[in-house]
Amino acid sequence: MSKADLQKPPREFWGYQYSGSLRPSFVTKQLRMPKGTLLPDYALEADGASACERIGVKEVPILQGAELEAMRMACKLGREVLDIAARFMRAGVTGDEIDRVVYQACVDRKIYPSPLNYFRFPKALCVSANEVICHGIPDCRALEEGDIVNLDISIYHEGFHSDLNETFFIGACDDDSHRLVRTAYSALYAAAQMIRPGTFYRDLGGAIQSEASKNACAVVTTYCGHGVGKLFHGPPKVPHYRKNKAVGIMKPGHVFTVEPMINLGGNGGDRPKEGALLCTCIVFATRLL
């Protein structure tokens, strides 16, 4: 297949109405993990669904002792993989190439990349550029000067998932891009200052939305933070907007993500202001209380 063919949108996107200038490219075949890798329950399922998540756990798990140490190690390994991928974030590199880097980093550490086959997701990480809010599938599109690109990396180690991401500037980016990423970071920081036993999960949203509003940005309300550990996605829900109805109080041993997703412009809705050049940034952290 020629380079030009790799850059063409796949047939299933023909006629699709895009919200911005970004276009999908060819997605290469899904890679398989080596024999002997510890697999999550969805890894070999045809539909990629997790039987454990189907049970519908309502209580936030409390980790302690050996389980907490395994979770800490999962977070450490996830950060190592993210740092390795970060070295390749430059113009000309494709999302597919970053996927292969992350895949190999996981193989080297004998860990499983959590997104792989999760509800049939075909890659080892999410690569979300510019107007992609989240969960972008790594493809053969080359990163371009001026892009902002989020890498969302989750790994599975000794029965525990960790979940991390970071947004990167590709070369020289405009002022709006810097304002957007700075706002997302400030929103995360403001929420992180509140994380302690006794805090209501619902209260984080107000701090996040305040940071977004004062920088003329909007919070994406469709997605929220979540519990992570034995389940890739579990309780609690952690909304990023004020006046939400999240249930629960933080307790020692809770493990969860805070992942504010921020748009340029707009009045609090999920879509950016018409004509916004770069409109999406995601930052989140895994916290161990």
pLDDT on residue 288: 52
Tell me the two tokens of residue 35. 């024999």
pLDDT digits (tens, 9 = 90+) for 169-179: 999 999 999 99
Task: Please say whether the beta carbons of 162 and 78 come within 8 A.
Answer: yes
Instruction: Show the 3-state SS of 241-276.
Output: CCCCCCCCECCCCCEEEECCEEEECCCCCCCCCCCC
Helix (H, G, I), strand (E, B) or coil at 286: strand
Confidence of residue 289 (pLDDT cuts 50, 70, 90): low
The mean pLDDT value for 32-39 works out to 96
What phi, psi does 52 have (nearest 5°)? -65, -40
Residue 248 pLDDT > 60: yes
pLDDT on residue 284: 39
pLDDT on residue 236: 96
pLDDT digits (tens, 9 = 90+) for 196-219: 999 999 999 999 999 999 999 999
How many CB atoms are closer than 10 A to CB 108?
11
Task: Please say whether the beta carbons of 237 and 201 come within 8 A.
Answer: yes
CA distances from 153 to 89, 113, 147, 222, 248 (A): 14, 8, 19, 20, 26
How many CB atoms are closer than 10 A to CB 216?
14
pLDDT on residue 3: 73
Q: Over pLDDT 90: what percentage of the chain?
A: 82
CATH 1.10.730.10 fits 42-288, yes or no: no
pLDDT digits (tens, 9 = 90+) for 78-121: 999 999 999 999 999 999 999 999 999 999 999 999 999 999 99
